[in-house]
Amino acid sequence: MNALHPTPLLDKVGVMEPKPWRQRVREEEELLARLNTLASEAAARRAEALLEGVEELGSRAEVARDLGRSWQAVDQAIKRYQRKRPTEGTTTTE
């Protein structure tokens, strides 16, 4: 077995000051906001794919069967997406 050679610079680990709690909270809130954005974008892409499946297979029930999911899960994902996206030709109050 090989003996480890001393490494004077690495053997003395300096004491690191922990980040202040306010900074940690701020960083975690920023991370949660980014994750929420990513999750919303993924849900929209998934719903678009489900809608393509409906076009191909003919119904939400057929898409659900093909994916091994419940009809309600497919239906709810599509409805959530459609509520968040204004349809063409409509105006929003924003």
**8 Å CB contact between 83 and 47:** no
**Model pLDDT, residue 85:** 83
34, 35, 37, 38 alpha-carbon torsion, rounded to 10°: 120
- Whether 89 shows a pLDDT value over 60: the answer reads no
The amino acid present at 40, given as its one-letter code, is S
pLDDT band at 91 (very low <50, low <70, confident <90, very high): low
Q: How far apart are CA 26 and CA 49, in angstroms?
A: 35
**Model pLDDT, residue 29:** 98
Give residue-wise pLDDT tens across range 9-64.
655 666 778 999 999 999 999 999 999 999 999 999 999 999 999 999 999 999 99
pTM greater than the 0.85 cutoff: no
